[in-house]
């Protein structure tokens, strides 16, 4: 008779399964029933009577099943849609060429973004230096600076600033206000 491996023996010991290598064991249900009836303290592991399920029983009872994330559903829809082209399959050399070109394009775009960021930073620092010169060096105690920074009456003849929003893929929370009228100019 062959002996059990140490891993199986330790598992059998932990779960209190009698170690036997006989092919047919009629007394297994009786032993399990006796073991369960002997335990008076509640066990930490739940005894599962239903067949295996990845959904917990409480989730089934409360919400009628697991909550489905709409984003995941959309991703799956577009990934496995019949009109979606199949993923690219390259040989080793072709994949290396593709990766090299893609990486070079990413590096080029990163350089372009860095140049643009540096140019915007230079412009901002130039404007800041000009404002500081107006504030301190004009000789009028900063009056010219205060007048130049006053925004009163700048946005009065345009459409309402509330309608200026970034372009997005989804519509706005509230639609266009058709009742809006342009304010009358006072001369």
Total structural domains within the chain: 2
pLDDT (tens digit per residue) in 91-112: 999 999 999 999 999 999 999 9
Name which of 10, 9, 57, 17 is nearest 35 in CA terms: 17
pLDDT (tens digit per residue) in 114-149: 999 999 999 999 999 988 888 888 778 888 888 888
Residue 121 included in any domain: yes
Domain that holds residue 122: 92-152
Please measure the distance between the N-terminal and C-terminal CA atoms of the chain and give it in whole angstroms: 110
Residue 87 included in any domain: no
Residue 127 included in any domain: yes
Residue 158 included in any domain: no
CA atoms of 38 and 25, how far apart (whole Å): 21
pLDDT (tens digit per residue) in 65-93: 667 788 888 888 888 888 877 778 889 99
Residue 161 included in any domain: no
């Amino acid at each position: 008779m062959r002996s059990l491996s140490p891993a199986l023996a330790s598992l059998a010991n932990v779960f209190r399964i009698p170690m036997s290598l006989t092919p047919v064991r009629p007394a297994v249900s009786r032993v399990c029933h006796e073991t369960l009836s002997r335990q008076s303290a509640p066990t930490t592991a739940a005894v599962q009577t239903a067949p295996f399920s990845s959904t917990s029983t409480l989730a089934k009872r409360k919400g009628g099943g697991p909550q489905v994330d709409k984003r995941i559903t959309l991703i799956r829809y577009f990934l496995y849609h019949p009109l979606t082209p199949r993923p690219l399959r390259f040989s080793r050399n072709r994949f290396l060429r593709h990766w090299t070109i893609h990486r070079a394009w990413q590096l080029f775009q990163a350089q372009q973004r860095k140049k643009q960021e540096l140019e915007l930073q230079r412009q901002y620092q130039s404007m800041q230096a000009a404002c500081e010169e107006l504030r301190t060096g004009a000789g009028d105690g900063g009056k010219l600076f205060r007048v130049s920074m006053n925004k009163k009456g700048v946005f009065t003849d345009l459409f309402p600033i509330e309608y200026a929003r970034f372009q997005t893929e989804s519509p706005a929370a509230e639609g266009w206000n058709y009742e809006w009228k342009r304010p009358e100019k006072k001369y």
